[in-house]
Amino acid sequence: MQELQRFQEGELRIVNEAVAIAEEITSNAYKISSAEWRGQRYDVKTLTDLTPDEVLHDGPFAQIIRYVGRKTESSLSSSKYDFYKICLQDHTILSALKKFPELRLFPFTLYIVTHELIHVVRFTKFLQAFDASAKEKIIEEARVHEKTQAILRPTQTPGMGAVFEFYRAWQGPLDDLRDME
C-alpha cells in the first residue's frame, strides 16, 4: 500500500497556528472562559499521531472519535468521561490543496478545525448527540457548516473566501435539510 502523505515541518507550524486560532475564536463564539476551555476533553492530532483505525483512506478532511476515559485513581463508573479526538487527515487535506489551487493551507485548516471544535462544543454542551441517526448527522453537518462560516466570516482571514466557495455546496441544501427536522 502507498505511504500516505503527511504534513511536513513547515506545514505543521501552519496547522498548529490554525488550531490555536480556531480554539480562540470558537471559545469566543460560545463564550467559553479560558479555564472552561482548558477543561474541555479533546485533542487535535495529525496523521503521524493517529492509529491505523483513526486514518480514513477516502473521505473527510477530519473526523472526531469519542473515547471513554476514566480517572486512573478511580474504578467507579461515575468517574468516566468523554474524550474527543479530532483526527486531521493530512493526506486528504494536502490532496485537496493540490486539486484546488485556490485553497491555501492556513485558511483551509482554520475552517476544518473550527468546524470540528464546534462539533466538540455541541457534544459537550449536549446540543447534539454524538450517536445521532444518519439523518440527524446530515442535518447537524449543515448546521455546523453554517455556524463555522458565521464565526469565521468576521475574521477576514486572507484566503477564506476560497474556502467558503469550496464549502458552498453545504449552504444550498440547508433549507431542504431543515424541512427534514
Render pLDDT for 16-31 as a digit per residue (tens, 0 to 9).
999 999 999 999 998 8
How far, in Å, CA of 18 to CA of 36, rounded? 20
The type of residue at 146 is E
**Residue ranges of domains in the chain:** 9-180
Round to whole Å and give the CA distance between 80 and 77.
6
Residue ranges, the chain, pLDDT below 70: 1-2, 37-40, 69-79, 127-133, 169-181
pLDDT of residue 1: 45
Per residue in 156-174, pLDDT (tens digit) is: 999 999 999 998 865 555 4
**What pLDDT shows up at residue 179?**
47
Cα Rg of the chain, angstroms = 17
- Could you give the CA distance from residue 164 to residue 108 in angstroms, rounded to a whole number? 9
Torsion angle, alpha carbons of 5, 140, 23, 150, to 10: 110
Please tell me the pTM assigned to this model: 0.85
